Amino acid sequence: MHTPTSGPAVPGTDPALRLAWLDNLRIALTVLVVLHHAAQPYGPSDWWYVQGGGSRSPALATLSAVDGAFFMSLFFFVSAVLVPASYERRGARHFVTGRLVRLGVPVVAGALTIVPGLMYAYYVHYRDRPPITFGRYFTEVYLGLGNEPAGWTGPSWPDLQFGHLWFVQNLLAYSLLYAVCRAVAVRVGRRRAGTRTPAPAPAAPPGHRALLALTAALASAAFLVRLRYPLDSWIPFLGFLQVEPARFPQYAAFFVLGVLAHRHGWLGRFDARTGWLWLMGGLLAVAVLAAVGTDAPAFGAGGANGPSALWAAYESFVCVALCVGLTTLFREAATASGPFLRELAQDGYAVYIVHVPLVVAVQYALAGRGLPAAAAWAAASLTALPAAFLLAAALRRLPLLRRVL
């Protein structure tokens, strides 16, 4: 991916440093994703490929809850910032074909290789079923060509899913929708070519009032959606798109905000004082959650009740505060660059695709060794994280994968 070349630069810096901090933010988010998945068996109660990790750590449960509140929304925002420049540079046709190759190919390939391998390991270790070969599992259970067994425990039937590649799949859908909207806008613009309407001036960056309104809107939307779809409920939208409705308002909103940030130059114009204040507010909210704990009855995953409304409001505030605050932090204080950081940034997309099998392999190796939750998480993180970057760097240099990764 490439950074946009239009729009004002960050005050007091040159465009190269602007690219550097954006890449550094992407690196940090990629690392956080690996750490998040490394914590899955040891903190949160979510479904995961490895279970029975022994005692669970409240601190890791808090880490998982905080991550879930904001980090994928920030990923959508950063990815969307790069979309308009790619469209403008390549044109509609090449933009669409490029997105289909770079995002679509890993989704399909991963759903046919990475995810069935992970699900087969789960089937072998945790389902009380007669042993079967991977070939039979793939056709009968993963693809669902066999009959659903009585007493099936899921998480779904059939096992076919996209796993962590849901983000890539959703990003592809958003990108294609963006291309459609741009094509419509061009057609409408041609019809109005005879009317000399001046181009609108860039909108002012959002301030405190706009950010509070965004928080309230996201909280309201999340609460309403969670009346039917609580957190961690996934649906096959249109029979194919893997979506978590409970967090869809955040993801869609931040993708749109990323597009607007590019169009209006918000990355460089956003007031740092506003960003620092929201960052402090977000960190304070995280400290409160760490003190209270994720098992507190005041927080609910969904339904028409007070805890659900409170958790929707809390998550929405943390999402806005940390997305705004971390963007400001990296813009102001993480502008370092160099060959090593550029390599990490270029490897980030491939790391996202390949890291889960590495994490899960380490977690299986640690199972039953009696390690405390924090120690097992640290071991999984310190082993899988560098391995993922090294594997990504190697795969990116293969001729057949260079265009995709």
Joined together, the tokens standing for residue 25 give 């933010």
Joined together, the tokens standing for residue 239 give 């029979």
Return the bridge partners of 242, or none. 236
Amino acid letter at 57? S
Q: What is the mean pLDDT of residues 274-285?
A: 97
Three-class secondary structure of residue 350 per DSSP: helix
* Residue carrying the six token digits 């290789």: 113
pLDDT the model gives residue 396: 94
Contact 85, 2 (CB under 8 A): yes
Alpha carbon distance 112, 117 (integer Å):
9
pTM of the model: 0.90
State yes or no: pLDDT of 4 exceeds 50.
no
- pLDDT tens, 9-28? 333 334 444 479 999 999 99
pLDDT the model gives residue 5: 32
Contact 379, 362 (CB under 8 A): yes
CA distances from 54 to 79, 349, 371, 388 (A): 37, 32, 8, 26
Three-class secondary structure of residue 281 per DSSP: helix
Alpha carbon distance 58, 50 (integer Å):
18
- pLDDT tens, 133-176? 999 999 999 999 988 888 888 788 898 999 999 999 999 999 99
Joined together, the tokens standing for residue 85 give 């420049």
Q: What is the 3-state secondary structure (H, E, C) of 158-191?
A: CCCCCHHHHHHHHHHHHHHHHHHHHHHHHHHHHH
- pLDDT tens, 323-340? 999 999 999 999 999 999
